[in-house]
Chain A
Amino acid sequence: MSNFFNFILRRFLLTIIAVFGVIILVFLLTRLLPNNPAALRAGPLADAELIKQYEREMGLDKPLIVQFGTYTGQLMRGDLGDSWRTSQPVREELGIRIPATLELALSAFIIALFFGVPLGIIAAFYSDSWIDQIVRVFATLGASLALFWLALVGVYIFYYLLHWAAAPVGRLTIGINEPPEITGLFLIDSLLAGDIETFKDAFNHLWLPACTLAFIVSAPIIKISRSSMKDVLNADYIRTAKAIGVPPTKLLFKDGLLNAFIPILTMLGIVFGYLMGGNLIVEQVFAWPGIGQYAWKALSTNDFNAVQSFVLLIAVVYVSLNFIIDLIYALINPQIRLE
C-alpha cells in the first residue's frame, strides 16, 4: 500500500510541475504579442499620454520577471485578472460560460463513447473482415473531416433543408427562459423543473453540435479500441483460453475488455480535454455561448488576460484528467505502481 501512496505522491508532484510549466509557457506566449495591448485598449485616437497611463495600470511598464511574479501571485489567490475588453473579472466571465461548454462536451463525449468503443471492439473481433474495413474507413474519415466544414454541412442539411434542428443561434430560442439553475446543464435543469417545453427546445439546439463533435472524436476512440482489443485478442493467454474452449463472448467481455481498457481510458481523457477546448470552432458556428466563443472574442480583440486564462484552463483540465487517469490505472493494475 505504501507503494500506492508513493506513486500518487510522485504523480501529484509531477502534475504540479506540469501546471507550473504551463503557466510559464502561457505567460510567455501572451507577452510575445506584437501589438501593444495598452495601445489597442486605448483605441486608435488615443495620445501617447493615455497609452502610458494604461501601461502603468496594466503593469506593462515593469520588467517581465516582476510581471510574472504579480501574475502567479494573483493566480495563487484564484484571481485571473480583469478582461480588458469588458472590464469584468475573467474568472466570473469564464465561470458563467463553463456550463454551456460542459453540456456540449459531455453530450458529445457520451455519444462518441457509446458509439466508438463498441464499433472498435466489433472491428477488432472480426479483424480484416468487411466489417473491419468499413469501420476503419469510417474512423479515418472522421479523423480527416474539418470540424468547421462538417458543422456547416450539418447546419445546411438539418436546419436549412430539413428543419430537424433549431437555428444555430445558441442554446435556446429567443423568448424561452433559461431553466432555474441547478447544474447549469439546460437538459437536466429543465427536466428537474418539469419544464418539457424548455427541454425540447434545449435538445433541438444541442443535438446537432453535439453529434458534429461526436463524429470527429469518435475516430480516435474507434481506432484505439480496435487496436488495443486486437492486441489483447492476440495475447497468449487469450489464445490459450480459446484453445481450451472458453466461449467467445466470455472471452470478449470478461477477459478482453478489462485488459483493453487502459489504453482506451487514456484516449478518453485526451478526447474529453479536446472537447473542452477544441469545440471553439463548433461554438463559433452554432453561436454557442461557451468558453470557446469567449476565447475567440478575446483573441480577436487582443484581450490577453482572457486568452491566457482560457488556455490555462484547458491545460489544467488536461493535466488533471491525466492525473486522475493515472490514479485509476494504479487502482486497476498494481504493476503500474512499481514502474
Chain B
Amino acid sequence: MSSTQNSIQNIEIKPSVISRSEFLGKIRFFTRFPLFIFGILVILFYLLVVIFGPSLTVYDPTIPNPQYTLGQPNSDYPFGTDKFGRDILTRVVYATRLDLMIALLVASLSFSIGSLMGCIVGYYGGWLDKVIMRVVDVMFAFPAFILAMAITSALGDTVQNVIIAIATAYTPYFIRLTRGEMLTLRTRQYADAAISVGNPSWRVALIHLLPNALTPSLVQMTLVSGWAILDAAGLAFLGLGITPPTAEWGVMVSEGAQRIITGEWWVWLYPGAAIVLAAFAFNLVGDGLRDIMTREEQ
C-alpha cells in the first residue's frame, strides 16, 4: 500500500518539476527567435489599437473639416489632415479595425473551408479528389490578386464581397496542404486501428486525423492574414471593393496618390506604413512559426 502511495507521489511530483524547467527551457527557446517575438508584439499592439484606439481619438473619421484641409502634421494633428480636413491619425486608427477584421476573416474562412475540403478529398480520394484537384490547379493558374480582383468585380463593391473574393483565392492553398498531409496520415497504423474498433470513416477523418494534418495550414493561415491585408488594400487602391469615404488603409493611400506630385506626403505615407507594418508582423510570425516547428522536430 505504502509503496503504491510512494509511486503515486513520485508521479505527481515529477511532472511539475520537469514542467517548470521545461517552461524556462521553452522561454529560452523562444528568445532564440527575436523576430518572431517582435512580430507577436506588433500584432498585440494592433489589437490594442483595435480595442482602445477609437475611444482615444478626439476627431471623427468621416466628417470633413473645411477649416484645415491638407494640413501639415502638427501637435493637434500628429499625422496631418487630408483634402477634406479629416484627421489622418483618426482614420488610420479606425481603418485598423476594418483591415484586421478582413485579415482574420479571410484567414479563418479560407483555412476552415480549405482544410475541410483537403481533409475529405485526401482521405477518400476517388473521383471527387480528381475533380477538386483539377479545379485547384485551374485556380493556381491565376495570381491570387488577379483572381481576387476578378471575383470582386463580379460580385460588386462591398467589404463582404472583398472578404469572399480574397478567401476564395487562398482556399486552394489550404486544400493542397491538408490533402498532402492526409495522404500520409491515412496510411498510419492508428488510422487503421480507429477503423477496426468500429469508428465510422468520417469520424476517423475529421476527429482522429484532421487535427494532426493542420500544422502546415496554421503557419499558412498566419501568412494569409498578412497577404489578405495587402490584397484588400491593393484592391481598394485600384478603386475596387472598399470605396471612399470608408476609412481603410488602401482607400487612404489611393486618396493620397493624387497628391504625389504636389508633395503632401503625409496623406499617403502613414496609412501605407500601417499596411506594411501589419503585413511585416504577420510574415515574421508565420516564418517564425515554421522555423520553430522545424527546430522542434530536430
Which residues from chain A sit less than 8 Å from chain B, CB to CB? 17-18, 21-22, 25-26, 29-30, 32-34, 136-137, 140-141, 143-149, 152-153, 155-156, 160, 167-168, 273-274, 277-278, 280-281, 284-285, 296, 299-300, 302, 307, 311, 314-315, 318-319
Contacts and interface: CB of A to CB of B under 8 A. Distances in A.
Contact of A284 (B35, B134, B238, B283): B238
9 contacts: A21-B141, A25-B138, A25-B139, A32-B154, A34-B154, A146-B237, A148-B234, A277-B142, A281-B238
Contacts of A280: 146, 149, 238
B218 to A, nearest CB: 18
A302 B150 CA distance: 11
Given A149-B275, A299-B149, A140 B134 contact: no
Given A144-B280, A319-B141, A314 B230 contact: no
A285 B276 contact: no
Q: Name the residue in A140, A167, A168 with the highest tally of chain B Cβ atoms < 10 Å from its Cβ.
A: A140
B146 A140 contact: no
Interface stretch (B69-77, B89-97, B179-187, B252-260): B252-260
A152 B257 contact: yes
A327 to B, nearest CB: 17
A231 to B, nearest CB: 12
Contacts of A284: 237-238
Contacts of A137: 35
Interface residues of B, number: 47
B190 interface: no
Given A140-B287, A152-B253, A318 B150 contact: no
Nearest to B277: A144
Contacts of B257: 148, 152, 285
B155 A32 contact: yes
Given A22-B138, A156-B265, A277 B143 contact: yes
Interface in B114-154: 134-135, 137-139, 141-143, 145-146, 149-151, 153-154
Contact of A33 (B153, B239, B256): B153
Given A21-B135, A140-B284, A278-B143, A29 B151 contact: yes
Contact of A17 (B35, B134, B156, B273): B134
A156 B260 CA distance: 6
Contacts of A315: 141-142
A226 to B, nearest CB: 12
B246 to A, nearest CB: 17
Contacts of A29: 150-151, 154
Interface string B1-42: 000000000000000000000000000000000010000000
A21 B234 contact: no
Contacts of B265: 156
A281 B148 CA distance: 14
A296 to B, nearest CB: 6
B279 interface: yes
A71 B194 CA distance: 51
A218 to B, nearest CB: 15
Contacts of B156: 34
Given A29-B151, A299-B149, A18 B226 contact: no
Nearest to A149: B272
Nearest to A157: B265
A21 B145 CA distance: 19
A32 B168 CA distance: 15
The 6 closest A-B pairs by CB, nearest first: A149-B272, A21-B138, A144-B279, A144-B280, A32-B154, A315-B141
B233 interface: yes
Contacts of B142: 22, 277, 311, 314-315, 318
A141 B155 CA distance: 32
Contacts of A307: 150, 153
A28 to B, nearest CB: 9
Interface in B38-53: none
A148 B237 contact: yes
A143 B239 contact: no
Contacts of A18: 137-138, 141
Contacts of A17: 134
B154 A146 contact: no
Contacts of B237: 146, 148, 281, 284
